[in-house]
Amino acid sequence: MNDILRDRLLRKLDLMPEDKLNQVLDFIDFLDSKYAPKIAPSPNAIRSFAEGVESTLRAGKVSASAISGTMNMMNKAVGAISEVAAAGKSVATGLMGAASSSSGPAEQEPAVPPEIPRGGPHELGSKLPHTDGDKET
């Protein structure tokens, strides 16, 4: 949708009374089911819940002002829950980053040949035992 058409529609919707907005939404849903070439992305679970509450209120013939007040409160709740979810996701991402960096490949100490123990026969002037190939002549 181009910006000019979007602005024009929003101006018209802003001037419309609440009870007529529900009729507009019903008409848009009808057109969507009949002519939409692609499937619209589904909203997140919280937003879906809020839309379900709105649909239930509209089907129950609740006044437009009551629906508007309820949806204003629902929008605030959805916004707060979304912020909490984003904060939780950020914390989880930070924890996962810290865990992955600490569980990375451990630094190995360079291999050092074992030292000959002190106080052994080599320090006492004796000869170390030799293998068969090292026998003195």
Q: What ranges in the chain are assigned the alpha helix state H?
A: 3-15, 18-35, 45-59, 64-102
Question: What is the spatial distance between Cα 119 and Cα 26, in angstroms, rounded to a whole number?
Answer: 95
pLDDT score for 14? 92
pLDDT reading at 47 higher than 90: no
CB 67 within 8 A of CB 56: no
* Positive/negative CA dihedral, 3, 14, 22, 51: positive
Kindly report the pTM of this predicted structure.
0.42
pLDDT tens digits along 76-130: 887 888 788 888 888 888 888 877 776 555 555 556 665 655 655 555 555 555 5
Could you tell me the two tokens for 50? 């809020």
